[in-house]
């Protein structure tokens, strides 16, 4: 790869601000929900055939993580898992890419994942009024980027079992593909959004790498 790493930061600015924004939106969803205002009606991503669909939802759904008044715990676990992965792997990538390029990477992965999700949803003729929320598409792009750029880094499953990043990411991608195809009853996880984030991450890195070689950046 031809990217130039920068000084590593434990909490670089883009990651820090993404964590703050996601947390604020989560708690705002809970508070406003108590007054009968459902932010997901406006900010979640709906099928483009739905009357609820708005173009801005391609961006806003990335900052929504449930926050349902009746089930705040489920939303918090969704938020925590995504934000922990964003901090753990995103901090490395932001230090590696630089803040501007990392933010572009994050947003394009998230939006690209949403597009693939809606395409699959349309093909499968899924319910059009079911909203999708979460930064998982962007986060899976980050996971792929980390595994692609740092393939031999050891990750410890359950803090005990070492596995190289490239194998971990490959197995995770295969699981998401299997789960997406199987689409078992009661599974409300947008697996193809996760896969979409990985695909877009791969495309972005390949393009950037090729461009950097041509310009000797």
List of residues 6+ apart from 10 with CB closer than 8 A = 91
In tens, the pLDDT along 73-130 reads 557 888 998 999 999 899 999 999 999 999 999 999 999 999 998 998 888 777 777 8
Please classify residue 140 by burial: count the beta carbons closer than 10 Å to its beta carbon, then call 0-12 exposed, 13-18 middle and 19+ buried.
buried
Q: What is the pLDDT of residues 14-29, one digit of tens each?
A: 999 999 999 999 999 9
Please state, in angstroms and rounded to a whole number, the distance separating the CA atoms of residues 110 and 115: 9
Cα maximum dimension of the chain: 56
**Cβ proximity of 85 and 139 under 8 Å:** yes
Residue 148: its pLDDT value, please? 94
Dig out the tokens for 139 from the structure.
Answer: 């986060």
Task: Give 2-20 as a 3 state SS string.
Answer: CCCCCCCCCCCHHHHHHHH
What domains does the chain contain, in order, with CATH numbers? 13-215 (1.20.1540.10)
Banded pLDDT at 5 (limits 50, 70, 90): very low
Mind listing the pLDDT tens digit for each residue in 145-184? 999 999 998 887 666 778 888 888 888 778 777 666 666 4
Predicted pLDDT at 127: 73
- Report the predicted TM-score, pTM, of the whole model to 2 decimal places: 0.85
């Amino acid at each position: 790869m031809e990217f130039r790493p920068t000084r590593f930061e434990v909490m670089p600015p883009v990651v820090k601000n993404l964590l703050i924004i996601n947390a604020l939106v989560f708690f705002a969803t809970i508070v406003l929900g108590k007054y009968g205002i459902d932010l997901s009606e406006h900010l979640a991503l709906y099928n483009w055939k739905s009357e609820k669909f708005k173009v801005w939802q391609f961006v806003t759904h990335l900052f929504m993580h449930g926050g349902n008044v009746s089930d705040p715990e489920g939303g918090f676990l969704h938020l925590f898992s995504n934000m922990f992965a964003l901090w753990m792997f995103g901090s490395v990538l932001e230090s590696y890419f630089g803040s501007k390029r990392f933010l572009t990477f994050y947003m394009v992965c998230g939006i690209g994942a949403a597009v693939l999700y809606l395409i699959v949803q349309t093909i499968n003729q899924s319910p059009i009024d079911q909203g999708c929320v979460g930064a998982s598409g962007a986060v899976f792009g980050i996971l792929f980027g980390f595994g692609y750029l740092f393939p031999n880094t050891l990750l410890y499953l359950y803090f005990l079992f070492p596995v190289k990043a490239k194998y971990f990411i490959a197995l995770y991608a295969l699981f998401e593909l299997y789960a997406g195809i199987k689409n078992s009853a009661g599974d409300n996880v947008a697996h193809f959004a996760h896969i979409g984030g990985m695909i877009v991450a791969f495309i972005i890195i390949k393009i950037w790498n090729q461009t950097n070689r041509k310009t000797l950046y």
